[in-house]
Chain A
Amino acid sequence: MIALAAAKAPDIDWAGISSLLALFAGAVVVLMVGLLRARFARQTLVPALSIVAFAASIGLAIWQWDEQGSLMSGALALDPLAMIGVIGVGVAGIAAVLLSIGATAPREAAHGEYHAMMLVSAAGMAMFVGGQNLITTFLGLELLSIPLYVLAATELHRRRSLESGMKYLIVGSVGSATLLYGFALIFGATGELDYGAIAREVGEQGLANDVLMLGGVAMIVVGFAFKASVAPFHQWTPDVYEGAPTPVTAFMATATKVAALIAFIRLFDVALIGTSDAWGPALATLAAIAMIVGNVGALGQSSLKRLLAFSSVAQAGYMLVGVVVATQLGAQATVFYVLTYVVMTAAAFAVVEAAERETGHDGVEALAGLGRRKPLHGVALTLAMLGLAGVPATVGFVAKLRIVQAAVDGDYTWLAIVLVVGSMISFVYYLRVVAQVWADEAPAGEAVVRTQTVEVEAPETLPTSTVAADPKGTPAAAVPSAAALAVAGGSQLPMTIVAVVAGAAIVVLGVVPGPLMTVVEDVARAVSGLVA
């Protein structure tokens, strides 16, 4: 096989792969531009070019929407499922780049590297959502994970950021290793790497009860659960979310979710569909645990980022329901949900980032009186929280409706009931945030004191070895406290844009969900093997 590949390289459909290439090309260009000396080039041109790269990738994905086929000898799929993944990741990427403007993290890590890593990670996600071959899937996974480990640690002067990167690296590696081992077992059982071929082998050889096969499936479930932060494999999530710089957290929370869920659908609903009797109940149990653990865990959180981390665990549980039922309706429901989740979470993180820059911490108290100080932010966060909770007239309600319908339709009514019980719990913490936004402002004296203490804690003394290890980061990071102060005074326009656009989308899509729903229906073409 290798000899064959050497003799004749596979025919490459450049148009089909263009959305992936745009991200890689963007990464290279951004890296180069980041080397320029001019402040303008680094601080303005680099983010602008990153946005252009993401937008180009989205545009190319839309251009390729109607294609149906595979690329590079079947390594990558070219279908609406992959394209919708690219679009979702692109939207999340643009939001993350906007949130990074003026933030500490890109300054400390150097703008070029920071944005290039984000683009490479997005390219990895584009591969991951398209992968229909165990090797490509794994490559995509690693390509998306490794830059994220680095990104999580980019605020070099905060110990929490470094800790977050380290924790993410270790846990993520365990997840990757488990997944790889599972892939190996499946390869061992079927002798195939290709998703379609695996499904065929499982069917033809009756491998549905094969120990090797089921062992592989079990490891894949665990590996994916690590990556998608599904309880009980979610323990890293709150710490990493809290420690990582907020724009990076936003990127992790949104883009990674899109990629992981779509890869979930492709792997389980296409390759492993023959063994659904084995993984169906297992995934259903995991989803139920995630809903309960995530929602209960979020109850006691005072840090907004930790709260959103636990809520993301719960939401991952909701989204899994669509995978569990293994129907076309379910796949559509999950894709719809994950897209809306991107919008809602982006709005939430935009406001959190703005509040964090203003007050220096991400506690719920930072929001007190936000509705009066910054009505746009207040409204956007309110809509995001109501949307995540699933209140009617927001897109979250429609998404939940679809998921519940898929569950009931797929004979998983009990899971739907767990889902709504989880939602009820979630109302407690979402509404507490909303109440804080519209409550009277906290006494001024208290707020000032809190800000000061945090400022003192935040800039940790810099270990010398880190500086040596990352020479690029040193120049910008030389005066951390000054940088932090400069950031606090910076413009909040990018965050306001993200918050307003996402907030508006939450309502508009909630009232008129038709168009997005129609788009998502195309996903059925990618999972045509499932029951309609």
Chain B
Amino acid sequence: MLHLSILLWLPAAFGLLGLLVPSRSARWVGVLGAVLALAFSIVLVLDFDASGAPFQHVTDASWISALGVRYQLAITGLNVWLVLLTTVGFAFSMIWIAVSELGRDPRAKHVVLHLGIAQSAVLGALLAQDLILFVAYFDLMLIPFFFITAQFGNGDRVPATIKMIVYTLVGSLLMLVAAIAVGVLATPSGETVSYNLVEIANRGVPGGSQGWLFACFAAAFLVKMPAFPIHGWLADGYRAMPLPVLAVFSGVLSKVAVYGFLQIALPILPQGTADLRWVVLILAVLSILYASTLAFTTFNARLVLAYSSVAQLGFITLGVMSLRPDGASGALLQSVNHGVAVFGAFLAVAILGRRAGGSEDLRDMGGAATKAPIFAVLFVVVSYAVLAMPGTANFVGEFLILRGAWEGTAPALAIVASLGVALAAVYALRLFIRSSHNRVGPTIEPREGSRVELALMAVPVVLIAALALHPQQTVDAADRATARSVVRAANAVGPGHVQKILEADPGIVGVGVPQTFSEAPAPTGAQTAATGGSGATETTGGAAGQGGAAVDPNTGQPVQVDPSTGQPSTGGAQTIQIDPSTGQPVDPSVQPEGAGR
């Protein structure tokens, strides 16, 4: 039994420990904490059983009993790889800090402390299975970056970072209200309020309120990413933040927003998601186009990466909002890929900036590769990952996303979005060529990276290679979890949508929506087969009939959708049932007792 609380609080504890040791060694305490957390999360990933229970390593304790808020943590298929990404990112950042000037600053303790708190907060947001706990960590994870930037940032850092905080809080605090409203509205009268995500999803939020609730959640997540019209904090915030911290901020924190959609918004607000998903989809596509355009016009290397990550997150959002398991899995895979690529890209910018006398302007760079072949090779691999070259896992991710978008939304949207893939090649190669090839820039002194720099740079490259060789690992872990996550929303979109999912991937059919928050395995087809003895029942539409998804808007009664015709049927059975041997729907009347349970 691995206690998630240990993983959760380890980084913060080491951050505090860093305060007690002499300033010079504080950074190594931070590194130790981050590496231990990394080791712990690797064990978690290895221990994760993709086809096992939906919630693994469950922690459940009372926190604020008066409000019904509980301290609930679990590893799921959605967060397991993101947890690893987080620990990798923070360990990378901490080591980078330790070997750079920031770690030798007399106030390095502060960096260590705040990064530790930030890591705990991010892990908390990922692991939390209680809505309020999630919101608390989601809000908290921003604050340490405020302190780091306000103390160690560049330029006009205080206004920039306040702007960043206030911007993102606009969404986060609205999300707080929405979260409480979700809990209160979902509670049947006479029962105690629960904020457990499974509980809320099963109780169901009244359809009429789901629209504005979803809008609040979406606002929080889209600002954090950020998406196109609400990205105002991005340029200032990215310019002000120290690079090692920015790497983890850009690589990890924005992914929590994506995770928020999959973990929170889709399962508990299926109707709201279905109603408003086109708004989010269009914002995502606009983000891709707008940010890509900016990325190949700006000359600030940091901002190229900033805008490229906006564009990437546009893709990822597209995958999530396709409301298909493949699109959502692709989105998760792409989150991990992009995070890893970004670590390398920001490190490359830092190394180049040091050669260029501290300037991060592309016009001051150029020709770095002439004297630094090893660095250039490593950098080009990172660039390929950023532009999603076939062969990298980023390509797999984007492919899955685009397939999901093609099938799940409208082909036109997928076509427009795929322009972004071409644009990504433009800005990623432009960044590489202008900094590493071309004529040697006016102020740059090309020289090979130091051993430490190269060793650090090799980390993301190795990870990119590993992901390229084994993208399937991530997708496997995510597949069932994303199916559980999107199934209710897919049902709310309409029967046609569900049917397309089934056609594309009959393997998904065995996935059931968890009914309780425990380590008990979710109801699956295999289990039903064992108990029912017929082997013919499968649950997809999931919670229909169990208080969840497919509810007739007129009568409030669960509706049975006939997958063959796409029409609601009024049969007595309460789940979509498909015979795995034929792939054909099964007549509900012949199902054994306990079907779909």
Contact = CB atoms under 8 A, between A and B. Distances in A.
Interface in A308-354: 332
B140 interface: yes
A420 B162 contact: no
Contacts of B526: none
Interface stretch (B144-152, B226-234, B313-321, B395-403): B144-152
B169 A401 contact: no
A432 B146 CA distance: 11
Nearest to B107: A372
A42 B419 CA distance: 81
Interface residues on A, range: 35 or more
B150 A392 contact: no
Interface stretch (A73-81, A96-104, A200-208, A405-413): A405-413
B421 to A, nearest CB: 36
Interface stretch (B176-184, B439-447, B462-470, B494-502): B176-184
Interface stretch (A2-10, A160-168, A514-522): A514-522
Contact of B150 (A416, A423, A424, A438): A438
Determine the main DSSP class of B at the interface with A.
helix
Contacts of A438: 110, 147, 150-151
A467 interface: no
Contacts of A428: 162, 166
Nearest to A403: B180
Interface string A383-399: 00010000111000110
Interface string B79-101: 00000000000000000000000
Given A402-B67, A431-B165, A517-B64, A424 B173 contact: yes
Interface string B140-171: 10010011001100000010011001100110
Contacts of B177: 404, 408, 413, 416-417, 419-420
A447 interface: no
Interface string A126-148: 00000000000000000000000
A438 B158 CA distance: 11
A420 B184 contact: no
A409 B180 CA distance: 9
A435 B150 CA distance: 6
Contacts, number: 97
B140 A393 contact: yes
Given A427-B169, A431-B146, A439-B150, A401 B162 contact: no
A391 B139 contact: yes
Contacts of B64: 398, 401, 513-514, 517
B151 A439 contact: yes
Contact of A401 (B65, B161, B166, B176): B176
Contact of B165 (A417, A420, A427): A427
B150 A401 contact: no
A391 B137 CA distance: 10
Contact of B67 (A405, A420, A432, A435): A405
Contacts of B139: 391-392, 397
Contacts of A513: 64
B458 interface: no
Contacts of B146: 431, 434-435
A424 B183 CA distance: 22
B136 interface: yes
Contacts of B66: 332, 402, 514, 517-518, 520-521
Contacts of B62: 514
A479 to B, nearest CB: 41
A432 B166 contact: no
Contacts of A423: 169, 173
Given A393-B140, A427-B169, A435-B158, A404 B176 contact: yes
Interface in B26-79: 62-67, 69
A393 B180 CA distance: 18
Contacts of B372: none
A526 to B, nearest CB: 17
A401 B174 CA distance: 12
B67 A401 contact: yes
Nearest to B69: A401
A420 B173 contact: yes
Given A424-B169, A427-B166, A401 B158 contact: no
- Greatest chain B CB density within 10 A among A392, A428, A431 is at A392
A401 B132 contact: yes
B22 to A, nearest CB: 15
Interface in B212-240: none
Given A391-B143, A424-B169, A514-B62, A431 B162 contact: yes
Given A386-B143, A438-B150, A424 B170 contact: yes
Contacts of A404: 176-177, 180
Contact of B162 (A417, A435, A439, A517): A435
A365 to B, nearest CB: 13
Interface string B348-365: 000000000000000000
A97 to B, nearest CB: 32
Contacts of A392: 135-137, 139-140
Nearest to A416: B177
A439 B137 CA distance: 26
Contacts of B162: 427-428, 431-432, 435
Interface string A261-305: 000000000000000000000000000000000000000000000
- Greatest chain B CB density within 10 A among A408, A419, A513, A518 is at A408
A108 B180 CA distance: 51
A386 B150 CA distance: 15
A477 B194 CA distance: 61
Contacts of A417: 174, 177
A222 B165 CA distance: 36
Contacts of B169: 423-424, 427
A424 B167 CA distance: 8
Contacts of A432: 158, 162
A408 B184 contact: yes
B342 to A, nearest CB: 26
Contact of A439 (B65, B158, B170, B173): B158
Contacts of B137: 392
A409 B66 CA distance: 14
A513 B67 CA distance: 11
Interface string B513-557: 000000000000000000000000000000000000000000000
Nearest to B146: A431
Nearest to A417: B177
A409 B177 CA distance: 11
Interface in B352-411: none
Contact of B65 (A402, A409, A427, A517): A517
A520 to B, nearest CB: 8
- Greatest chain B CB density within 10 A among A405, A423, A427 is at A405
Given A424-B173, A427-B165, A439-B150, A401 B140 contact: no
A424 B175 CA distance: 12
A233 B169 CA distance: 29
A503 to B, nearest CB: 15
Interface of A: 332, 386, 391-393, 397-398, 400-402, 404-405, 408-409, 413, 416-417, 419-421, 423-425, 427-428, 431-432, 434-435, 438-439, 513-514, 517-518, 520-521
The 3 closest A-B pairs by CB, nearest first: A392-B136, A420-B173, A392-B140
30 contacts: A386-B143, A391-B140, A392-B135, A392-B136, A392-B137, A393-B140, A397-B136, A401-B67, A401-B69, A401-B132, A404-B176, A405-B183, A405-B193, A408-B180, A408-B184, A413-B181, A420-B173, A423-B173, A424-B166, A427-B166, A427-B169, A434-B146, A434-B150, A435-B150, A438-B110, A439-B158, A514-B66, A517-B67, A518-B66, A520-B66
